[in-house]
């Protein structure tokens, strides 16, 4: 090669390298410019708030304005990425933590006075002598009876840090009794009820997926196995979800080794698969899962895993459709953000999350208006989003879990008498009156056989009609006869709830008129395919 060619090659190489360097410089510059622009956009919010603080005509509540700005910004994302001030965050986490600080009672407000339904065993209230049926008159010096005091406000006054004291005045029969109660740690149970419906069928109702859910579920399922359970009806209706790991552990109880449970994936989160380890103790138990339009999040993860693995039958109505993975971000002032970072997908690949648009907040309302909760033909599924279960059954995406067996909302029993009683909470007020009348006897009953005998002697039909009549609600001719099959079990459930049997008694007596449970009992717990 002569020197002239060598010089030309060097020149060409130099030009190419120069171009590459220039391109690289341009790319670096563009990337920096993009980062600077992005930073500038985010920084704009701080600049605006700073200008308001410096120059606004009136005094500014900086904390309130910052909270409003953050709330508004997150509202532009998805409906579940939210900012929570300290009090709200603390309450939210306490609801799922498995315990809270308080006095240890459950109550309702059927009219204008709170009535104790349950005194939690071992809690502060039991230790000082509070009893079911006690009417709450005052908390410290604040009168809360007869003044339509809001239930949430009563809860706030009763709760407080463990070790602090609160004075609660109650009315028991005709006697007014003050109690000094030292607040403590109160366990919160996520299982509302667990008992045998018949000789071989167990029933467990789960209200939420809290920190203690798996532990509670294991304890109750072992008891039912000992009583002869061959099949479980697992009720997740109204269960809005909770901790993800608890849904995984419950799913694992029923699935074989390497069965897929769920996977998650997001723009900045790589796909993560979760599978069963095959060590569950309920793999051979027949399973029916009950869901409705308020079953969400972890409930849907569990139901989706069971359905896609053809492990059991899903009965009820299409679930809510919340399948977003949220990570908490905490700030030093006690506030926090729950930020969506990924989505949940069932084993077949269905996205649990329903689309979110302008009518997202009205979705459940629209299901009623559009007839979805009344007719299976009105259920909205995405026919273009087709998936198959492990045994080849077709399932559709579009948000939520569509049940294998649909059960509509039952409107056939809503007589004028029943609706009028509901409006004035006559059933609950009657149950409270019956507890006042039979307090000593009810508090002694601790088994269902004895409760059955007691309730049969109460002559509930005639006493309830008389009670309703005094409240100005008189059944038309033949109306009680039409309503009795539905109302009588409900009244038994509400009265029995005041006994030591608690929520188990309520659901034991109420389930016979629960059509979803009846459909589940009539159907097989095995999937047809």
Residue 2: the pLDDT is: 54
Q: What mean pLDDT do residues 35-57 have? A: 78
| Mean pLDDT within 183-203 | 91
In sign, the C-alpha dihedral spanning 103, 109, 114, 118 is negative
Q: Is the pLDDT of residue 199 over 50?
A: yes
Q: Would you state the pLDDT for residue 350? A: 95
pLDDT for position 465: 94
How many other C-beta atoms are found inside a 10 Å radius of the C-beta of residue 43? 11
Tokens of 195: 């008992």
* Known catalytic membership, residue 322: yes
What are the tens digits of pLDDT across the range 101-132?
889 888 888 777 888 888 877 788 888 888 88
Q: How far is CA 125 from CA 102, 145, 183, 272, in A?
A: 9, 19, 9, 46
Mean pLDDT of 280-309: 97
All domains in the chain, ordered by first residue: 37-76 (no CATH), 99-187 (2.30.42.10), 191-409 (3.90.226.10), 416-518 (no CATH)
Q: How confident is the model at residue 1 (pLDDT cuts 50, 70, 90)?
A: low
Q: Report the distance separating Cα 269 and Cα 503, nearest Å.
A: 42
Most confident range (mean pLDDT) of 22-31, 154-163, 209-218 is: 209-218
In 3D, which of 272, 233, 228, 274 has the Cα closest to residue 255?
274
Residues facing 343 on adjacent strands:
265, 324
> What residues form DSSP beta bridges with 250?
none
Q: What is residue 35's predicted lDDT score, i.e. its pLDDT?
A: 53
pLDDT at 414: 73
Catalytic position from the list 192, 235, 260, 308:
308
Catalytic residue, from 81, 221, 297, 335: name it: 297
Percent pLDDT > 70 in the chain is 91
Find the catalytic residue in 235, 299, 322, 348.
322
Residue 474 has pLDDT above 60, yes or no: yes
215 compared with 21, residue with greater pLDDT: 215
DSSP line for 247-285: HHHHHHTTS-TT-EEEEEEETTEEEEEEE--S--S-TTS
Q: Determine the pLDDT at residue 15.
A: 46
> Is 316 within 8 Å of 285 (Cβ atoms)?
no
297 is known as an active-site residue: yes
Q: In whole angstroms, what is the distance from residue 256 CA to residue 280 CA?
A: 8
pLDDT of residue 511: 93
Q: What are phi and psi of 328, to 5 degrees?
A: -80, 140
Please determine, for residue 4, whether its predicted confidence score (pLDDT) is greater than 60: no
How much of the chain, in percent, has pLDDT values that exceed 90? 52
Contact call for residues 506 and 496 (beta carbons, < 8 A): yes
pLDDT of res. 527: 67
Predicted confidence band of residue 287 (pLDDT cuts 50, 70, 90)? very high
Which residues lie closer than 8 Å to 239 by C-beta, 6 or more apart? 206, 207, 208, 209, 294, 295, 296, 298, 299
Q: What pairing do the DSSP bridges indicate for beta strands 115-119 and 105-108? A: antiparallel
Q: What is the pLDDT of residue 419?
A: 87
Report d(CA 144, CA 492) in Å as an integer. 28
User: Average pLDDT of 410-437?
Assistant: 85
pLDDT (tens digit per residue) in 319-335: 999 999 988 889 888 88
Other C-beta atoms within 10 Å of 123: how many? 21
Calpha distance 367→374 (Å, rounded): 9
pLDDT value of position 16: 45
User: For 266-270, 399-403, 454-458, 477-481, which range has the lowest pLDDT when averaged over its residues?
Assistant: 477-481
Active site residue 308: yes
Give the pLDDT score at 33. Answer: 54
Interstrand relation of 105-108 and 165-172 (parallel, antiparallel or unpaired): unpaired
Q: How confident is the model at residue 5 (pLDDT cuts 50, 70, 90)?
A: low
pLDDT band at 37 (very low <50, low <70, confident <90, very high): low
340-383: pLDDT as tens digits: 999 999 999 999 999 987 788 889 999 999 999 999 989 888 88
The three-class DSSP label of residue 129 is coil
**Residues 121, 495, 407, CA angle at the centre, nearest 5°?**
100
State the pTM of this model: 0.81
Which three-class secondary structure string do you get for 347-394? Answer: CCCCECCCCCCCCHHHHHHHHHHCCCCCCHHHCCCEEEEEEECCCCCE
Helix 460-470 with 426-444: angle, nearest 10 deg: 130
**Helix (H), strand (E) at residue 473:** none
Residues contacting 244, CB < 8 A, separation 6+: 209, 298, 301, 325
Rounded Cα distance, 27 and 50, in Å: 34
β-bridge partners, 205: 193, 235
**Bridge partners (DSSP) listed for residue 515:** none
**pLDDT over 70 (residue 285):** yes
Query: What is the per-residue pLDDT across 224-275, written as a single tens digit (0 to 9) for each?
Result: 999 999 999 999 999 999 899 999 999 999 999 999 999 999 999 999 999 9
**For residue 23, pLDDT beyond 50:** no
Q: What angle do CA 130, 499, 132 make, to 5 degrees?
A: 20
């Amino acid at each position: 090669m002569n020197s002239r060619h060598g010089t030309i090659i060097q020149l060409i190489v130099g030009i190419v390298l120069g171009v590459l360097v220039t391109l690289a410089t341009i790319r670096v510059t563009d990337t920096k410019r993009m980062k600077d622009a992005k930073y500038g956009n985010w920084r704009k919010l701080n600049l605006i708030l700073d200008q308001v603080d410096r120059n606004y005509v009136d005094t500014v509540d900086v904390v309130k304005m910052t909270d409003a700005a953050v709330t508004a910004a997150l509202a532009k994302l998805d409906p579940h990425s939210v900012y929570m001030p300290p009090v709200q965050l603390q309450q939210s986490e306490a609801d799922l933590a498995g315990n809270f600080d308080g006095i240890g009672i459950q109550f309702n407000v059927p009219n204008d006075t709170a009535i104790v339904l349950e005194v939690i065993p071992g809690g502060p209230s039991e230790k000082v002598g509070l009893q079911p049926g006690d009417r709450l008159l005052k908390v410290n010096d604040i009168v809360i009876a007869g003044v339509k005091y809001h239930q949430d406000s009563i809860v706030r006054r009763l709760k407080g840090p463990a070790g602090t004291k609160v004075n609660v005045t109650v009315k028991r029969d005709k006697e007014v009794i003050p109690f000094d109660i030292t607040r403590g740690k109160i366990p919160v149970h996520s299982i509302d009820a667990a008992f045998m419906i018949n000789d071989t069928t167990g029933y467990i109702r789960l209200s939420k997926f809290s920190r203690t859910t798996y532990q509670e579920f294991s304890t109750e399922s072992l008891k039912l196995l000992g009583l002869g359970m061959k099949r479980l009806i697992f009720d997740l209706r109204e269960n809005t979800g909770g901790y993800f790991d608890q849904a995984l552990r419950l799913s694992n109880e029923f699935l074989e080794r390497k069965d897929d449970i769920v996977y998650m994936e997001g723009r900045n989160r790589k796909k993560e698969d979760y599978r069963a380890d095959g060590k569950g103790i309920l793999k051979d138990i027949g399973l029916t899962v009950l869901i409705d339009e308020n079953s969400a999040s972890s409930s849907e993860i569990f139901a989706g895993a069971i359905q896609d693995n053809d492990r059991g039958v899903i009965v009820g109505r299409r679930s809510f459709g919340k399948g977003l993975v949220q990570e908490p971000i905490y700030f030093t002032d006690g506030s926090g953000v729950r930020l969506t970072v990924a989505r949940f997908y069932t084993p077949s690949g269905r996205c649990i999350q329903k689309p979110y648009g302008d009518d997202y907040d009205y979705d459940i309302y629209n299901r009623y208006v559009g007839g979805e909760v009344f007719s299976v033909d009105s259920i909205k599924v995405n026919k273009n989003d087709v998936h198959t279960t492990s045994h080849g059954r077709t399932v559709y995406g579009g948000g939520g879990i569509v049940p294998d067996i649909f059960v509509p909302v039952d409107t056939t029993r809503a007589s004028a008498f029943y609706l009028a009683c509901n409006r004035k909470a006559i059933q609950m007020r009657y149950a409270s009156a019956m507890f006042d009348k039979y307090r000593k006897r009810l508090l002694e009953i601790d088994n269902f056989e004895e409760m059955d005998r007691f309730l049969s002697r109460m002559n509930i039909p005639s006493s309830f009609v008389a009670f309703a009549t005094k409240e100005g609600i008189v059944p038309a001719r033949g109306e009680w006869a039409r309503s009795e099959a539905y109302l009588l079990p409900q009244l038994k459930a509400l009265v029995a709830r005041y006994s030591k049997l608690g929520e188990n008694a309520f659901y034991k007596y109420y389930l016979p008129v629960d059509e979803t449970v009846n459909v589940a009992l009539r159907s097989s717990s095995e999937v047809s395919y």
